[in-house]
Amino acid sequence: MKKPLAWTAAALAAATLGAATPAAAQDTMKLGVVTFLTGAAAGPFGIPARNAAELVVEAINNGALPAPHNAKGIGGAAVEMILVDEAGQVTQVVQEFRNLIERRGAEAVVGYVSSGNCLGVAPVAEELKRVTVFFDCGTPRIFEEGPKTYVFRTSATATIDSLGAARYVADKIKNLKSYGGINQNYAWGQDSWRDFTLAMQVLKPGSKVTTEQFPKLFAGQYSSEISALFLSNSDAVHTSLWGGDLEAFIQQGAARDLHNKTKLVLSTGETAMFRMGAKMPDGMVIGARGPYGVFANASPLNDWLQKAFSDRYGTPPTYPSYHMANAILGLKVAADKAAAAAGKKPTPEQVAKSFEYLEYDGFGTKIALKIGKGHQAVTETAYGTYKFDKSTGTPSIVDVIRYPASCVNAPEGVDSVEWIKAGMKGAVCN
């Protein structure tokens, strides 16, 4: 096994993928960026994330981010981005991670949409002692199953998605008596549905589960599941489907008028709203895995991302873009802090130490790594109801409710499932 590299010195003219190299830089660091570039998840998730990575890396190299993040480089080094496709089985994704480190010389890695891939990569990142920032995958198991040294996640866990959805349903559907679900049959879908049903038992005691549908990941066809949901007569239907699966479900459900039969609650629905527009029925409850996209809080960073992304790519950034941007920014903040303390290029160990319990103002919200022994971020979240304005051709969100981090995240050292089961003791939602 190769020893972990420090930020490598390289010639000024080193080739850079998706980023301009600042003329004043003396060193470069190779940053692996992993997301879906092909397959059903690429359009709604992987490509918006990649686009954000290109924008943010370019801005970092040019010192063009808004203050206080306008120092050039990461830890004083210009970034050479190595882009990798996440598509493939978990074993293949893990091997590609090894290749990034051992063959291609990546000194840090930001990536991964799929919870299954994060679960596979995490122990290998620890083995290879390389700082790895998960930008999107949501399963709480990453840090609840054991402490990490080099692995971090700057987006919140799926707990906020399920609790936020349950709280919104409880707040908005006062007479709810039953609910069903359709979630993908792997870690993300199973965990999301489990947390939603546990929260509903607390928030709406006496309400009943009507049907539980678990199609395989990237199934794309949901005729039998929609039939089951239609016949269940549920007051609400929860889904954590994402990417192409979510868009296929929305289209197939709309063709059968499912949205008029039940209130559809889409925990990742924000990714679909600009892509689908008028094809997405009004009245659906949607989330963005945090306060991102249309839910983002105003700030110079948010204004910069919205304008730069829309100007270059012709569409607003959605939450995968925000997740990626915040992960790269978190790495920069930690590495810059470590470099300042060391007085030179930081080692992976120094960057990891600086990353622990880091708090910084990110794109859309404040990021605080408060749980998982300082490796897992907590954030607020928000839910709203989709409405398409036909007169302007603009998708929008109405009836937004924001839930603070203290309302939807388990405290440090407390298992999220046990916390929900116990009634979410200590949650502060005002």
Using CA atoms, how far apart are residues 181 and 203, in angstroms rounded to an integer?
17
Q: Kindly give the confidence (pLDDT) of every residue in the chain, 430 residues in length, as a single tens digit, with 9 standing for 90 and above.
A: 333 333 433 333 333 333 433 333 358 999 999 999 999 899 999 999 999 999 999 999 999 999 999 999 999 999 999 999 999 999 999 999 999 999 999 999 999 999 999 999 999 999 999 999 999 999 888 998 899 999 999 999 999 999 999 999 999 999 999 999 999 998 889 999 999 999 999 999 999 999 999 999 889 999 999 999 999 999 999 999 998 999 999 999 999 999 999 999 999 999 999 999 999 999 999 999 999 999 999 999 999 999 999 999 999 999 999 999 999 999 999 999 999 999 999 999 999 999 999 999 999 999 999 999 999 999 999 999 999 999 999 999 999 999 999 999 999 999 999 999 999 999 999 8
Q: What are phi and psi of 208, to 5 degrees?
A: -120, 145
Q: What predicted TM-score, i.e. pTM, was given to this entire model?
A: 0.90
What is the domain partition of the chain in residue ranges?
A: 28-156+296-378, 159-295+379-421
Using CA atoms, how far apart are residues 157 and 141, in angstroms rounded to an integer?
9
Q: What is the dihedral of CA 173, 249, 267, 35, to 10 degrees?
A: 180
Using CA atoms, how far apart are residues 114 and 95, in angstroms rounded to an integer?
15
Structure tokens at 270: 């924000």
One fold for 28-156+296-378 and 159-295+379-421:
yes
Q: Provide CATH code, domain 28-156+296-378.
A: 3.40.50.2300
User: Looking at residue 18, what is its pLDDT?
Assistant: 39
Give me the CATH topology for the region 159-295+379-421.
Answer: Rossmann fold (3.40.50)
* Cis peptide bond upstream of 317, omega within 30: no
